[in-house]
Amino acid sequence: MPDDIADTDDFFELGGDSLLALEAATESRRAGLEMPASGVLRRPVLADLAAAVIDPALFALPSGADSAVTTERS
């Protein structure tokens, strides 16, 4: 992990992964904060993630968006 981390850095580019996102979500919940692990996937930039922890509505999917990823097959 780099010595200097900026709010514009990406969680995953800093070495984070899905397991670390789950751990962060668990620790956040213990601290009384609402941060789902999926929120890290939706908002991986640290400043965006922090803003969403302050306002959990920012973790919501945009209206009409589907949480499932689909792939067309030919």
In a domain, 24, yes or no: yes
Contact 50, 9 (CB under 8 A): no
Instruction: Measure the CA–CA gap between 49 and 41, rounded to whole angstroms.
Output: 10
pLDDT tens digit sequence for 52-71 = 989 988 888 666 555 554 45
Q: Is the pLDDT of residue 39 over 80?
A: yes
Instruction: Measure the CA–CA gap between 40 and 18, rounded to whole angstroms.
Output: 9
Nearest to 20 by CA among 47, 48, 49: 49
CB atoms within 10 A of CB 52: 20
In a domain, 72, yes or no: no
In a domain, 12, yes or no: no
Contact 40, 16 (CB under 8 A): yes
Domain that holds residue 29: 18-59
Q: Residue 56: what pLDDT?
A: 85
Q: Model pTM greater than 0.85?
A: no
